[in-house]
Amino acid sequence: MTRLLLGVTLERICKAVLLLCLLHFVIIMILYFDVYAQHLDFFSRFNARNGSRAHPFSNSSRPNGTAASYGAAGAEPPSASARPGANHSSTEKPLQPCQEVPPGLVGRLLIEFSSPMSMERVQRENPDVRRGGKYSPQDCVPRQKVAILIPFRHREHHLKYWLHYLHPILRRQKVAYGIYIINQFGEDTFNRAKLLNVGFLEALKDDEEYDCFIFSDVDLIPMDDRNLYRCYEQPRHFAVGMDKFGFRLPYAGYFGGVSGLSKSQFLKINGFPNEYWGWGGEDDDIFNRISLNGMKVSRPDIRIGRYRMIKHERDKHNEPNPQRFTKIQNTKMTMKRDGISSLQYRVVEVSRQPLYTNVTVEIGRPPPRLARG
Ligand SMILES: *[C@@H]1O[C@H](CO)[C@@H](O)[C@H](O)[C@H]1NC(C)=O
Ligand SMILES: *[C@@H]1O[C@H](CO)[C@@H](O)[C@H](O)[C@H]1NC(C)=O
Ligand SMILES: *[C@@H]1O[C@H](CO)[C@@H](O)[C@H](O)[C@H]1NC(C)=O
Ligand SMILES: *[C@@H]1O[C@H](CO)[C@@H](O)[C@H](O)[C@H]1NC(C)=O
Ligand SMILES: *[C@@H]1O[C@H](CO)[C@@H](O)[C@H](O)[C@H]1NC(C)=O
């Protein structure tokens, strides 16, 4: 009798579990299609035509909403400057400083690299970006002027996606900014940190008002616009969680990918090292410089500091630098003499493109004993 009862109970439990599984599966499928709807051409066309049905993460709905809200706010609340002809000198309020937390942020973003991308498209999407990749909010006075520096060589494909995603994000973040790619001339070994030193000086030559410098690899896209690209009390590390590291910080002293220093923070550490040729080590050296100068790296919350990396083969002429491990032991000694104070380079060309400024520079080559590395 009890066995029968047990059997029945078991059967019921099994059914309940089965039902739960089914429910779970259905919910997962709904979420899955919701998130990936845009991957499918069928859905994306549907979304584009029919804005009201678009997924909340899709660009066609919310960013447009925010764009409209500050596009309209460009003309301030109803009272000011909107009506033509009238002279509002009495009612015209002076522009307020931009809010500490910009109101038009949308949070988590869907980032993907499968849809085709072209410079023309990105240009169409960003009509208010000025030549050279500059932008400044119209409806408030930005608190910082940020130069975004991208060490670069042969990554045109990535640049398109970077610009496509970052211009709208930066616009929503309400800072004045300029985008500079620092393009290493020739085919000698790549030197990321030295290019960034060059970027610092060249951006200031272009506009001496820059007070914040953000150093970003071209293949890293933030997945959340609450990760604010600006400078902080302490040097900032933005790329806390990359997809390739399972969205976790690979080690406590990691400072790679995307980082930012104010002008004074950058000068305090004598800029970046010029002697790291090839891949790796320079970011650890920079981290050491920061610690040795009594500063502490600040980071966004791990849930916000998430990044997607555009997949690629390792670049030619950017092989891992075998000397990187010994070099980072010596930051304390090398920091004073190697840095922005000892930087040498030759500008090949500065060209202002619609969405970025292209600074092509010759930065030399590694000393001969390293050349084989
Ligand atoms: C959106 O879809 C509805 C039906 O789902 C349709 O009636 C409406 O015309 C569509 N709007 C646009 C702009 O296509
Ligand atoms: C989203 O769409 C708006 C216009 O609807 C455009 O200005 C903006 O650049 C787009 N943003 C992204 C991330 O595609
Ligand atoms: C997006 O906003 C712009 C103005 O900011 C408007 O012209 C356009 O029609 C809007 N698009 C959609 C899909 O709502
Ligand atoms: C508006 O005011 C400015 C001075 O603030 C003056 O120069 C201009 O002539 C005025 N325009 C009209 C249409 O009254
Ligand atoms: C930058 O300028 C250099 C030199 O003119 C050119 O070779 C390179 O293709 C340009 N790169 C980009 C991304 O504009």
pLDDT tens per residue across all 373 residues of the chain: 677 888 899 999 999 999 999 999 998 888 776 655 544 444 444 444 444 444 444 444 444 333 333 333 333 444 444 455 556 555 667 889 999 999 999 999 999 999 999 999 999 999 999 999 999 999 999 999 999 999 999 999 999 999 999 999 999 999 999 999 999 999 999 999 999 999 999 999 999 999 999 999 999 999 999 999 999 999 999 999 998 899 999 999 999 999 999 999 999 999 999 999 998 899 999 999 999 999 999 999 999 999 999 987 777 888 888 888 888 888 888 999 999 999 999 999 999 999 999 999 999 999 886 555 4
CA distance linking residue 57 with residue 258, whole number of Å: 24
Q: Is the pTM of this model over 0.85?
A: no
Instruction: Please tell me if the CB atom of residue 357 comes closer than 6 angstroms to any atom of ligand 5.
Output: no
CA 50 to ligand 1 center in whole angstroms = 6
Structure tokens of 262? 């104010």
Instruction: Please tell me if the CB atom of residue 51 comes closer than 6 angstroms to any atom of ligand 3.
Output: yes
- What is the Cα gyration radius of the chain? 25
Q: Whose CA is nearest to atom 7 of ligand 4?
A: 87
Homologous superfamily of domain range 119-371 = Spore Coat Polysaccharide Biosynthesis Protein SpsA; Chain A (3.90.550.10)
CA 53 to ligand 1 center in whole angstroms = 9
Name the residues annotated as catalytic: 217, 219, 279, 282-283, 309, 312, 314
CA 296 to ligand 3 center in whole angstroms = 43
Would you state the pLDDT for residue 350? 97
Closest approach atom of ligand 2 to CA 167: 9
Closest approach atom of ligand 4 to CA 86: 13
118 class by beta-carbon count within 10 Å (0-12 exposed, 13-18 middle, 19+ buried) = exposed
The residue among 70, 13, 18, 60 whose CA lies nearest residue 37 is 60
